[in-house]
Amino acid sequence: MKRNRLDSVLLYATAILTCALLVFPIYWLVVTALSEPDQLRQLPPKFWPDQPRWGVFAQILAERPILQWLGNSALAAIGAVTLSMTVSVLAGYSLSRFKVRGGQSLGLFILTAKMLPATLLVIPLFGIFRQLELIGSLWSIILAHATLIIPFTTWMLKGYFDTIPRELEQAAMVDGCSPLGAMVRVILPVSAPGLAATALYGFVLSWSDYAYARTFLTNAQTNWTANLGITTMKGEYVSNWSDISAASILVALPILLIYLFLERYLVGGLTAGSDK
Amino acid sequence: MAGIRIEHVTKSYGGLTVLKDFSLDIADGEFVVLVGPSGCGKSTMLKILAGLEEASSGKVTIGERDVTDLAPGDRDIAMVFQNYALYPHLTVRKNMGFGLKMRGTEAGEIDRRVTQAAKILGIDHLLDRRPRALSGGQRQRVALGRAIVREPLAFLMDEPLSNLDAKLRVHTRAEISALHKRLGVTTIYVTHDQTEAMTMADRIVIMKDGEIQQIAHPDTMFREPANLFVAGFIGSPGMNFLQSPVTSTGNGAEVRLFGQEVLLPVANASTLAGRDVVLGLRPEHLALGAGAVTFEVQPRLVESLGSEQYVYVDLPPENRVGQAPHAAADEDGRGNVLIARLINPDGAPLAERLTLSFDPARLHVFDAVTQEAIR
Amino acid sequence: MSRHTLRQGEAPTMPRAAFLDLARPSRRHWLGYLLLAPAVLLIGLIIVYPLFVSVDLSFQNVNIARLDQARRPFTTANYERLFASEDFWNACWVTFKLVVIVSTGCFLLGMATALLVNNRFKGQALARLLVALPWAVPEVIAVVIFAWLFDSSFGLMNWIFIKLGLVDTTINWFSSPSASFAVVCVVMIWKGYPFVSIMLLAGLQSIPEDFYNAARVDGASAWQRLLNITIPSLMPVLGVTLVLVMLWVFRDFSIIYVLTGGGPLKATQSLSIMTYEQAFGFFKMGYASAIGVITLIVCIIASRLMIARAPDTM
């Protein structure tokens, strides 16, 4: 398609302006983090600090237990993703390949479970975890995040397995594999990109949670996840926006990096998982 | 190597029966082709043979061993799939050796057999590539190679040529036949293409709607089709069908074709008097010029293929195949057209009106109601 | 070549235990159940059982959910109180306004950005990445960003508004009901539109180029192509995406809770916030469960509508 010059200029101008406007809040977060707190209280605002204080990240890591929070978030996410993936790889494969009685209803239930409001589930889970004495422990978060992740991953994986020809495992079975062997030796290796995308998506879901962490971990400061830690910083009497912004960048960074470098996988998973 | 015996196998999903009482004895080393239109149950039968699907009833024996409910891997068979089903994450070498590895064959032996099979198929230079890096034809060979390294009791092939382009298909067809001669392994081959069936099979099993229509040697199938469906399915272009009532005469019974009285070439023809029959006449049995039964027509269309010409002629209304429910003629709208296949025409354009003729001995006679052949 | 000699070195096939052999055609479907079992068990424990507990709680007069205590008598008091409560109807109204405004905003912005980056130009890949970048910012962080942007004393937005002459004095965004509602909407739209954009872009890219070429040959203008090809082809994706976005707004907790906590004067108290506040602010878990059950019913109806809309993707 040929465009004339004016159209081209207009297109580029619109694209640049739109991107700039939409990404500006993230840019502003960076500017805030790099500015001296005093400078933030001056008008007119500076759109790039005179002397970016790059040391702010090291300083904030030393002053606040951010590394611990990040570690907790990572632990919770890895735990929840491992648990969810184990269960949903098997279930997704079964839903994709076997005609199991009740399988369709189960699939529908899982689909509906994606829409469950966390604010409803958090109440009984609080009661259950209190009984099991899991409140304050990362295990409560791992289990709670599994309720968020399993419905997504099961459907994403089912969709992914559906795209792999059945003949592959039929060939493997003729070659002497058991059905489980065919799955482990052929289907799972072939699905590696899909498994990775699904796991990443689960990781993002877990990393972004606030409601469960707020409810189960509030009184266990050493087990705070990153999001919970950030909100407590924001809730302090005098907000030091510079420090909060620096901490926020550190918390958002893992997901932003996953997104920037593995966008194709994540987005593929997002659209595949969501139209079902 | 071993013979295969299929006894009264049926398959149904809920109320839907896809395979009705299938019985077949396959001799050791025989090349049997299951052929039929899509949905006829041929692939289901093959999957049951492979153990990939469960038969609803019946029994399958491979080399004296009852394998009806045996795992696919325990049947000692190899299968070639339409989409080849090569393992995309393994190299060609590992693809071919996978089955042997699963059976615990030692590495040196696997390597020796893979190399040998690759040489036979001319793919020894591709052994370290992955399937993704291969052309369609090469993938097909790897799939064949994966089957032959196993040296199984039988090969099962599920439309192995239909993903190839036309030229390669003809070439590979001949190669599979040669391979079968060389290895002598019992082969069951499923296809929807009657040409493949005719050229490769020792015996053809022709199926429709889950039922066997006829089991015969390709030549017998061509010359003595058991019913209208077989007659229409085998041969290209397909057999022409003309309908006519039978009237008895002094020395037998006659039908009326293109306004001519034609003596029926069957024994006891007079018993057919008063009934309708469908007459089959292969396009190649019509000739230009006068003959035993001669008639003049105005061609609707002439297709020239160089060495031969197809002449399309409208059937007279009285000879059009009527309401009788028969699949073969109706599907391609052949109920009211006759095709004459004229071999080696001199190249001169055909005249407006043509004189065609045929030998009544070439007519196939079918009951218009039961659609069975009458001989 | 003799089969016998070639077969040397091959171990005899091990016969599997006949009963446990799941490879047998007649047993294979057992594996289907076996593979589902862990998921069914886990989902039963952490989703289905809690759901039952919360429905059960909603019919009891319980303050703190203690499963080790005897069940309180059955009562519909929670629901009666709920429907008589002004707060509940206020929360419904707030939620409704949010769903309508935020979904519309997400859709307009998502559609516009998707159409923009669907054009072919240099840097298209980068633009696509940037346009959907907010999707990768955790909700809590998004709130931090906007809380500072809308800070009443030194926030950038106040400065911009004054510079543009829209207001003459700084606005205290988080103490005015309508202003804080507006900020909540802005944050949710910023966080929510990338999802729409990603979904619609995927939809746009699955429309065959031939459709457009055929339309161009027929002399259709860009606008006509949008109306007659793009929008109809996107309809299935649009429907599903709309429901998903609406459900997200309907259920979202983190953004509002961290940004305003539902205030001021309950101006941003959606049903989710009210549920949580009743449960963990006032420890009225039975009452909170009743609100939760209502939201659940709405969610189930909406998701069923979506499933019915996209039967072929099932």
Residue B31, phi-psi category: left (phi > 0), alpha (psi -120 to 50), beta (remainder): beta
Answer yes or no: do A168 and A188 share one domain.
Answer: yes
Tokens of B327: 């699949």
H/E stretch holding B338: strand B337-343
The DSSP bridge partners found for residue B35 are B191, B206
The DSSP bridge partners found for residue C117 are none
* Residue written as token pair 């299929």: B6
- pLDDT tens, residue order, chain C (314 aa): 334 333 443 444 444 555 567 788 888 888 889 999 999 999 999 999 999 999 998 998 887 766 667 777 888 888 999 999 999 999 999 999 999 999 999 999 999 999 988 888 888 888 888 988 999 999 999 999 999 999 888 888 888 888 888 887 888 888 889 999 999 999 999 999 999 998 898 888 888 888 888 888 888 888 888 888 888 888 888 888 888 899 999 999 999 999 998 878 889 999 999 999 999 999 889 999 999 999 999 888 887 877 766 544 43
ipTM of the complex: 0.89
Neighbouring residues of A180: CB distance < 8 A, sequence distance ≥ 6: C22, C31
The DSSP bridge partners found for residue B304 are B309
Q: Which amino acid, C186?
A: V
B22-46 pLDDT per residue, tens: 999 999 999 999 999 988 999 999 9
CA atoms of B86 and A171, how far apart (whole Å): 8
The residue extents of the domains of chain C are: 85-313
B350-375 pLDDT per residue, tens: 677 888 999 999 999 998 888 888 88
Answer yes or no: do A2 and A135 share one domain.
Answer: no
Tokens of C279: 């449960």
Residue of A128, A178, A275 with shortest CB distance to C22: A178
| Residue-number span of the structural domain to which A194 is assigned | 62-274
Asked whether the bond before C38 is cis by omega within 30 degrees of 0, the reply is no
Confidence band (pLDDT; 50, 70, 90) for A105?
A: confident
Query: Which residues does chain C have within 8 Å of residue B117's beta carbon, measured at their own beta carbons?
Result: none
CA atoms of C237 and C100, how far apart (whole Å): 19
B263 three-class SS = strand
Neighbouring residues of A214: CB distance < 8 A, sequence distance ≥ 6: A228, A231, C257
Which has the closest alpha carbon to C28: A180, B259, A52? A180
pLDDT at B344 over 90: no
pLDDT at B158 over 80: yes
State the pLDDT at residue A187: 93
Please compute the mean of the pLDDT values over residues B226-232 and round it to a whole number: 92
Q: Does the beta-carbon distance from C121 to A29 stay under 8 Å?
A: no
pLDDT at A250 over 60: yes
CB atoms within 10 A of CB C21: 17
Answer yes or no: do A45 and A81 share one domain.
Answer: no
Please compute the mean of the pLDDT values over residues B161-174 and round it to a whole number: 91
Query: Which residues does chain A have within 8 Å of residue B74's beta carbon, measured at their own beta carbons?
Result: 176
Check: CB of residue A46 under 8 Å from CB of residue C157: no
Radius of gyration of chain A (CA): 23
Residue A129 distance to chain C (closest CA, Å): 10
Query: A164 CB near a chain B CB, below 8 Å?
Result: no
Query: Which residues does chain A have within 8 Å of residue C113's beta carbon, measured at their own beta carbons?
Result: 18, 22
B60-80 pLDDT per residue, tens: 999 889 998 899 999 999 999
Answer yes or no: do A168 and A37 share one domain.
Answer: no
A50 three-class SS = coil
pLDDT at A274 over 80: no
Answer yes or no: do A6 and A66 share one domain.
Answer: no
CATH of the domain at A133: 1.10.3720.10
Q: Does domain C85-313 have CATH number 2.40.40.20?
A: no
Query: A189 CB near a chain B CB, below 8 Å?
Result: yes
The DSSP bridge partners found for residue B242 are B279
CA atoms of A272 and C179, how far apart (whole Å): 37
Which has the closest alpha carbon to B242: B356, B109, B106? B356
State the pLDDT at residue C7: 42
State the pLDDT at residue B227: 92
Residue C110 distance to chain A (closest CA, Å): 11
Overall number of domains in chain A: 2
DSSP letter assigned to residue C136: G
When the pLDDT of each residue in chain A is averaged and rounded to a whole number, the result is: 87
The DSSP bridge partners found for residue B277 are B244, B367
DSSP letter assigned to residue B227: B
Nearest Cα residue in chain C from A247: C141
Query: Which residues does chain B have within 8 Å of residue C4's beta carbon, measured at their own beta carbons?
Result: none
Check: CB of residue B246 under 8 Å from CB of residue B277: yes
Neighbouring residues of C147: CB distance < 8 A, sequence distance ≥ 6: A234, C259
Residue of B82, B87, B103 with shortest CB distance to A176: B103
CA atoms of C33 and C29, how far apart (whole Å): 7
Answer yes or no: do A196 and A91 share one domain.
Answer: yes
State the pLDDT at residue B369: 86
Answer yes or no: do A7 and A79 share one domain.
Answer: no
Which has the closest alpha carbon to B281: B225, B333, B344? B225
State the pLDDT at residue B326: 47
The residue extents of the domains of chain B are: 4-228, 233-374
Q: Does the beta-carbon distance from C13 to B100 stay under 8 Å?
A: no
B259-269 pLDDT per residue, tens: 888 888 887 77
| Residue from B1, B151, B183, B186 to probe the interface with C (highest C Cβ count within 10 Å) | B151
Q: Does the beta-carbon distance from B1 to C16 stay under 8 Å?
A: no
Q: Which amino acid, B372?
A: E
Q: Does the beta-carbon distance from B99 to A176 stay under 8 Å?
A: yes
| Residue from A18, A120, A126, A206 to probe the interface with C (highest C Cβ count within 10 Å) | A120
State the pLDDT at residue C144: 92
Nearest Cα residue in chain C from A212: C254
pTM, whole model, 2 decimals? 0.86
Answer yes or no: do A24 and A142 share one domain.
Answer: no
State the pLDDT at residue A237: 63
Which has the closest alpha carbon to A170: B130, B351, C125, B146? B146
Q: Does the beta-carbon distance from A231 to C140 stay under 8 Å?
A: yes
Q: Specify the CATH superfamily of domain B4-228.
A: P-loop containing nucleotide triphosphate hydrolases (3.40.50.300)
Residue of C113, C121, C302 with shortest CB distance to A12: C121
B296-324 pLDDT per residue, tens: 888 888 888 888 888 999 888 888 886 44
Neighbouring residues of C222: CB distance < 8 A, sequence distance ≥ 6: none
Check: CB of residue B55 under 8 Å from CB of residue B10: yes
Query: B88 CB near a chain A CB, below 8 Å?
Result: yes
Q: Does the beta-carbon distance from A174 to B88 stay under 8 Å?
A: no
Query: C121 CB near a chain A CB, below 8 Å?
Result: yes
Residue A163 distance to chain B (closest CA, Å): 13
Which has the closest alpha carbon to C285: A128, A112, A223? A128
Class of CATH domain B233-374:
mainly beta
CA atoms of B35 and A153, how far apart (whole Å): 42
How many A×B Cβ pairs under 8 Å? 60
Q: Does the beta-carbon distance from A170 to B52 stay under 8 Å?
A: yes
pLDDT at B1 over 70: no
Answer yes or no: do A6 and A97 share one domain.
Answer: no
State the pLDDT at residue C3: 40
State the pLDDT at residue A203: 93
CA atoms of C115 and A198, how far apart (whole Å): 27
Query: Which residues does chain A have within 8 Å of residue C50's beta carbon, measured at their own beta carbons?
Result: 121, 124-125, 128, 147
Radius of gyration of chain B (CA): 24
What is the rounded (10 degree) CA torsion for C100, C104, C110, C112? 180
CA atoms of C195 and C241, how far apart (whole Å): 8
Q: Does the beta-carbon distance from C25 to B1 stay under 8 Å?
A: no
CA atoms of B117 and C143, how far apart (whole Å): 65
Answer yes or no: do A159 and A202 share one domain.
Answer: yes
Check: CB of residue B314 under 8 Å from CB of residue B337: yes
DSSP letter assigned to residue B372: B
Confidence band (pLDDT; 50, 70, 90) for B332?
A: low
> DSSP for B57-121?
EEEEEETTEE-TT--GGGS-EEEE-TT----TTS-HHHHHHHHHHHTT--HHHHHHHHHHHHHHH
Q: Does the beta-carbon distance from B98 to A175 stay under 8 Å?
A: yes
Nearest Cα residue in chain B from C10: B105
CA atoms of C66 and A130, how far apart (whole Å): 8
- Helix A138-162, helix A66-97: angle, nearest 10: 40
Tokens of B335: 């109920």
- Helix C28-43, helix A138-162: angle, nearest 10: 150
Q: Which amino acid, B356?
A: L
CA atoms of B25 and B208, how far apart (whole Å): 19
Answer yes or no: do A44 and A66 share one domain.
Answer: no
CA pseudo-torsion sign B24, B25, B28, B31: negative
- Helix C285-309, helix C77-84: angle, nearest 10: 80
Residue A100 distance to chain C (closest CA, Å): 6
Tokens of A143: 């289990």
Tokens of C203: 């939809």
Query: Which residues does chain B have within 8 Å of residue C30's beta carbon, measured at their own beta carbons?
Result: none
Residue of C8, C13, C23 with shortest CB distance to B103: C13
A195-242 pLDDT per residue, tens: 988 999 899 999 999 999 999 998 888 899 999 999 988 877 667 888
Tokens of B317: 């209304």
Q: Which amino acid, C58?
A: S
Residue B265, classified by CB atoms within 10 Å of its CB into exposed (0-12), middle (13-18) or buried (19+), is: middle
Query: B366 CB near a chain A CB, below 8 Å?
Result: no
pLDDT at B103 over 50: yes
CA atoms of C257 and C254, how far apart (whole Å): 5
